[in-house]
């Protein structure tokens, strides 16, 4: 690490010096990585009997992240993890990443080192190899493009389109927290902009802030499926909110579904913060994005294999296409799921929510 007090302009190192600086001491964890950073291309040898999964996410400053409240190291970590999540959503394990970065001259070498520290940390945690990239200048702002390569056995790859009638709709973890974390950060940003002397008040929101700033990919669930001999019939990761992802599964599977509102798993702080912002908590789960949990369907005969998992909640059931995609309220009303702007629920009085939500009020 360079002297923390001293910042280095990018031009001081030049492109090759910069790449060397950013990519030194990168370990290799996987046998499938034959050659990592350092030549014109990385060399990857897919494991016998496995298929390769490839995905990319592009992050643009001001569109996908705001450096006012996103620490650079977290940004690097998140950029990698959201890609790992896409591989998990195919029931695969991420193995390699390639990172493209476009950066304007307002960034220093130390700033890029922070981003890379986050990417490298994610790679270490998930045992993914960082095998290459490209570095270029941008006229303004920062772009990060991460391509991930993963693997899965052919017969375990899980698509969005395989849900069958009567399959159980399940979700991992809890929902809505990342969106509530974002609202807290945006609120504190406004306070700060109005009066830069004000310190942000982030107290007591550790969990939801972490869910926004440092999400995790559920590769642990992919391993659980393998250990328990479960192949979900369909799966997607929740990047845009439960409603939108459920509709993807139903549309691609040509099926309908019922989601039971009171079953949707939510953390207590998510619930309280939603109320504080005047948002019906269920809305945060349905339409708030970036939770990076897995939404999947399993056959009813696999229920015994998941019923004791603390990480998995059954929230609904797959129905015939003609039934539509519906939310069942605690008082048994059916509401059509909408991907955005879910007016019917928004207009409901928050005090008329479920008894279990009330009791946790």
Decide if 282 contacts 353 (C-beta within 8 A). yes
Question: What x-and-dash track marks residues 83-122 binding Mg ion by CB under 5 A?
Answer: ----------------------------------------
Which of Mg ion, ligand ADP, none has residue 206 at its interface (CB below 5 to 8 Å by kind)?
Answer: none
C-alpha 88/C-alpha 318 separation (Å) is: 22
Taking the least distance from each CB to ligand ADP, the nearer of 132 and 241 is: 132
Taking the least distance from each CB to ligand ADP, the nearer of 113 and 290 is: 113
Q: Closest approach of Cβ 38 to ligand ADP, in Å?
A: 5
C-alpha 259/C-alpha 319 separation (Å) is: 10
Choices 10-18, 79-87, 126-134, 154-162; region in contact with Mg ion by CB under 5 A:
126-134
Our CA dihedral for 25, 31, 32, 34, rounded to 10 degrees, sits at 50
Q: Closest approach of Cβ 309 to ligand ADP, in Å?
A: 37
Distance from chain centroid for Cα 322 = 31
Q: For residue 15, state whether it binds Mg ion (rule: CB under 5 A).
A: no
C-alpha 318/C-alpha 5 separation (Å) is: 57
Taking the least distance from each CB to Mg ion, the nearer of 98 and 235 is: 98
Closest CA to 55 of 15, 96, 20, 14: 96
Decide if 215 contacts 309 (C-beta within 8 A). no
Choices 15-23, 133-141, 195-203, 268-276; region in contact with Mg ion by CB under 5 A:
133-141
Taking the least distance from each CB to ligand ADP, the nearer of 99 and 279 is: 99
Which of Mg ion, ligand ADP, none has residue 38 at its interface (CB below 5 to 8 Å by kind)?
Answer: ligand ADP
Q: Closest approach of Cβ 17 to ligand ADP, in Å?
A: 11
Taking the least distance from each CB to ligand ADP, the nearer of 144 and 230 is: 144
Closest CA to 177 of 303, 35, 39, 284: 284
Total number of residues binding Mg ion (CB under 5 A)? 1
Q: Which residues pair with 146 in a beta bridge?
A: 57, 99
Token pair belonging to 119: 């990417």
Max CA pair span of the chain: 65
Helices (H) and strands (E) in the chain, counts: 12, 13
Taking the least distance from each CB to Mg ion, the nearer of 39 and 343 is: 39
Q: Closest approach of Cβ 28 to ligand ADP, in Å?
A: 13
Token pair belonging to 233: 């019939």
Which of ligand ADP, Mg ion, none has residue 132 at its interface (CB below 5 to 8 Å by kind)?
Answer: ligand ADP
Decide if 90 contacts 150 (C-beta within 8 A). yes
Decide if 113 contacts 21 (C-beta within 8 A). yes
Q: Which residues bind ligand ADP (CB under 6 A)?
A: 19, 22-23, 37-40, 99, 101, 132-135
Can you tell me which of 124, 134, 276, 361 binds Mg ion, judged by CB under 5 A?
A: 134
Q: Closest approach of Cβ 51 to ligand ADP, in Å?
A: 24
Choices 46-54, 63-71, 132-140, 249-257; region in contact with Mg ion by CB under 5 A:
132-140
Token pair belonging to 229: 């001999």
Q: What is the binding site for Mg ion (CB under 5 A)?
A: 134
């Amino acid at each position: 690490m360079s002297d923390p007090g001293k910042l280095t302009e990018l031009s001081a190192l030049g492109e090759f010096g910069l790449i060397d600086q950013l990519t030194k001491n990168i370990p290799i964890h996987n046998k499938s990585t034959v050659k990592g950073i350092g030549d014109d291309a990385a060399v990857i040898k897919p494991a016998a009997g496995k298929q390769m999964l490839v995905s990319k996410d592009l992050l643009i400053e001001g569109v996908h992240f705001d450096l006012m409240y996103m620490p650079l190291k977290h940004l690097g970590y998140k950029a990698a993890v959201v890609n790992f999540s896409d591989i998990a959503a195919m029931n695969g394990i991420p193995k390699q990443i390639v990172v493209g970065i476009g950066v304007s001259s307002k960034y220093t070498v130390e700033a890029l080192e922070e981003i890379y520290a986050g990417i490298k940390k994610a790679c270490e945690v998930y045992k993914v190899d960082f095998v290459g990239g490209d570095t270029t200048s941008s006229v303004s702002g920062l772009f990060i493009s991460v391509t991930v390569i993963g693997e899965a056995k052919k017969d375990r790859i899980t698509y969005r389109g395989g849900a069958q009638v009567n399959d159980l709709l399940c979700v991992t973890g809890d929902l809505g927290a990342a969106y509530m974390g974002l609202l807290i950060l945006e609120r504190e940003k406004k306070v700060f902009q109005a009066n830069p002397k004000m310190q942000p008040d982030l107290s007591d929101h550790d969990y939801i802030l972490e869910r926004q700033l440092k999400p995790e990919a559920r590769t642990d669930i992919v391993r659980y499926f393998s250990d328990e001999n479960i192949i979900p019939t369909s799966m997607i990761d929740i990047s845009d909110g439960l409603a939108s992802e459920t509709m993807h599964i139903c549309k691609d599977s040509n099926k309908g579904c019922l989601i039971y509102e009171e079953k949707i798993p939510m953390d207590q702080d998510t619930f309280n913060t939603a109320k504080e912002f005047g948002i019906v908590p269920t809305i945060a789960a349905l339409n708030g994005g970036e939770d990076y949990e897995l939404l999947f369907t399993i056959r009813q005969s696999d229920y015994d294999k998941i019923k004791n998992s603390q990480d998995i909640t059954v929230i609904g059931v797959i129905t015939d296409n003609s039934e539509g995609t519906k939310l069942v309220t605690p008082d048994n009303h059916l509401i059509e799921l909408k991907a955005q702007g879910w007016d019917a629920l928004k207009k409901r009085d928050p005090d008329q929510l479920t008894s279990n939500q009330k009791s946790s009020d």
